[in-house]
Structure 1
Amino acid sequence: MPLTDLSLADCRDYRPPLPVPADFDDFWSRTLDEAGDRTQQKPVFTEVETGLTQVRTYDVTVPGFAGQPVRGWLRMPAGAGEPLGCVVEFLGYGRGRGLSHENLLWASAGYAHLLMDTRGQGWSAAGGDTPDSDAGAAGVVPGFLTRGIESPETYYYRRLFTDAVRCVEAMRRHPEVDPDRIVVTGVSQGGGVALAVSGLVPGLAGVMPDVPFLCDFPRATRISGRPPFTEIAEYLRLHRDRTEAVFTTLSYFDAALLATRATAPALFSIAMMDEICPPSTCFSAYNNYAGPKDVRIYAFNGHEGGAEYQQREQLAWVRSLFAGPPAGRAGHS
């Protein structure tokens, strides 16, 4: 596949003027405060039998946005004797949490691994178990990128980002997890969610966004010729009078903007032939990321990115990040 976006040199210099709503920080502070106040429910971790002897697996239910139940799998190495570093992973567009015996990489490496289900999604090979209770009537454009887009209050990703924050909070309180050693990660949509969480949750140990989606909506909507960004373009093709309002809503959820609030170390990956998440949009997040950062670039790959090669990079990076004795449980409530 050919290059369809800016050159690598131009991408490294690309810093678009992302619009910042006047109440951006207040909006997210209020959203997360409400999520914490709306429920007194606690996360539930129920161990399940998988036939695996070296990994313990738990069926997880976390109270997410408005206290609505969000499912997941927590996998932990058997026989761990001290608080564990933890990787919280968010899924790509259309994917669900799948089956209990899948996704063993991080537990096999000696870490707790929470895989969060994605509300309303899971129609691909990895099925999901979390409904989107606030979805309302489906819009005229299939998919999730325009669901509730008429207002930031009703937009789908307000609920999803809040779910993700609540899952990180749940792991910080887990008795077998070191709250100071939590890394968030994800591919595509999951990478965008990880970036959002990095800007919403202080004190993370690290962030690993791979070929991140949900970055630089104004450019992505105009240059990406493949779904899911095309959902927004299709919506605006039908609703010609809503362009300004739509991009105002999207500005609250732009992962590249949320990345300007991040402080944790980050390891990005970006693919230069990515037609789904164009590399310039990923670089808009990387270049604006406010914490320490590094990036792995895959010059001849599309949206598959680095795949197993990037996993190898991540394993080494997390091992270095978590080097040293457990930090203890001070500083978190």
Structure 2
Amino acid sequence: MPLYDLPVDQLRTYRPDVAEPEDFDEFWAGTLDDARRHPLGLQVLPVASGLRTVEVFDVTFAGFGGHPIKAWYTRPAGVAGDLPVVVQYQAYGGGRGLAHERTLWANAGYAYLFMEPRGQGSTWGNGGQTPDPVGNGPARPGSMTRGILDPREHYYRRLFTDGVRAVEAARALPGVDGSRVIVTGISQGGGVTLAVAGLVPDLVGVMADVPFLCHIRRGAEISPQDPYLEVAGYLAVQRNHVEQAFRTLSYIDAVNFARRANAPALVSVGLMDQICPPSTVYAAVNHYGSRSGGPRPDVDVVEYPFNDHEGGDAHQQARQLAWVAERFGA
């Protein structure tokens, strides 16, 4: 697990020219407009989780295409009034798991919505329940190459839209103060977090841990592991698709969303991370807020010099608890 990427002093100033399509804003505005033509269809059902200090609810809402997306809503038991809410997105391959698993933010005194990624949930963890009913052309196993030749068909167009709709669902939940929302996630969840930060203009905060999907072309060129290796493996076979594939991926590159974010952010990076190379994370960090239309928002970066993709783990959670309390005024 060596230090294989740029020297740390270069990482901290690494601000590459990441490809961005000219119609990026129009593409995403149209995508969200299409999604919002479907009623949110929010369903909130209490769950007998066996927990005494938190209440858990099974949530369903309409995501991309009106497709039903599952989530857990957790909040402190017996607490009246509207609470600020943390919305979290899952890492690659995981599902929402079981009702009793997601308790940290509710135990900290906040409302908490944990969204399941469509079509995932059977790689690790305790399972998922949200299908992805959309098909795609020839692809390598995994999600990165699903729809890779057309941004309208790409998997992450659907997942990022689901992520925005999850914020809208969280704001509509009973017992939630919709004016105070923080989004968070690890790895894939961190990439979704940055995408949502660029698409939702009134968040209180953004927490992205070892985020995936940043500077995707560099990730595909230097990462020795999946999921970026899915792209490299696909292009090793589909040799004539290189430029078309990376044009599609530029529509879902988290750097391009990070440019548009305007909420303060807390980002972690593992300097020995072989899944999400540190230079890709710093590409998003150093572009963050550059096209927000106002002063550049604060970005706190926490480096873990000898850590791989586990990043800060519980140490980072401790930082997040303090950071969230400050943002929510708790």
Normalization by structure 1: what TM-score? Answer: 0.95
1:40-119 alignment to 2 at 5 Å?
40-119=39-118
Kindly indicate whether residue 10 of structure 2 is the aligned counterpart of residue 10 of structure 1: yes
CA contact (8 A) 2:40 2:169 kept: no
Quote the sequence identity (%): 52
Name the SS for the 1:35 alignment partner. Answer: helix
Q: Which stretch of structure 1 is more off in the superposition, 5-14 or 305-314?
A: 5-14
Deviation at 1:83, TM superposition (A): 1.2
Deviation at 1:125, TM superposition (A): 2.0
Q: Where does residue 294 of structure 2 map in the other structure? A: none
Q: Where does residue 246 of structure 1 map in the other structure? A: 245
Separation in 2 of the partners of 1:185 and 1:41? 21
Kindly indicate whether residue 30 of structure 2 is the aligned counterpart of residue 30 of structure 1: yes
Q: Where does residue 316 of structure 1 map in the other structure? A: 322
Name the SS for the 1:261 alignment partner. Answer: coil
Deviation at 1:40, TM superposition (A): 2.3
Deviation at 1:113, TM superposition (A): 0.8
Structure 1's 64 and 294: CA in aligned 2 closer, same or farther, altered over 3 A? same
Separation in 2 of the partners of 1:244 and 1:40? 37
Structure 2, gaps ≥5 residues long:
290-296
Deviation at 1:135, TM superposition (A): 2.9
CA contact (8 A) 2:139 2:146 kept: no
Give the letter aligned to residue 143 of structure 2: F
Superposed CA RMSD in Å reads: 1.0
Deviation at 1:41, TM superposition (A): 4.4
Separation in 1 of the partners of 2:26 and 2:126? 36
Separation in 2 of the partners of 1:282 and 1:41? 33
Separation in 1 of the partners of 2:242 and 2:29? 26
Give the letter aligned to residue 35 of structure 1: A
CA contact (8 A) 2:206 2:263 kept: yes
Name the SS for the 2:225 alignment partner. Answer: coil
1:201-224 Cα offsets, whole Å, 9 max, x none, are 110010000000000011111000
CA contact (8 A) 2:91 2:187 kept: yes
1:83-127 Cα offsets, whole Å, 9 max, x none, are 101110001100000000102111100011111011000011231
1:170-204 Cα offsets, whole Å, 9 max, x none, are 11122311112110000000000000000001100
1:259-293 Cα offsets, whole Å, 9 max, x none, are 00000010000010000000000000011111221
Runs of 4 or more above 4 Å deviation: none
Normalization by structure 2: what TM-score? Answer: 0.96
Q: Where does residue 187 of structure 2 map in the other structure? A: 188
Kindly indicate whether residue 274 of structure 2 is the aligned counterpart of residue 275 of structure 1: yes
Kindly indicate whether residue 161 of structure 2 is the aligned counterpart of residue 162 of structure 1: yes
Separation in 2 of the partners of 1:52 and 1:217? 41
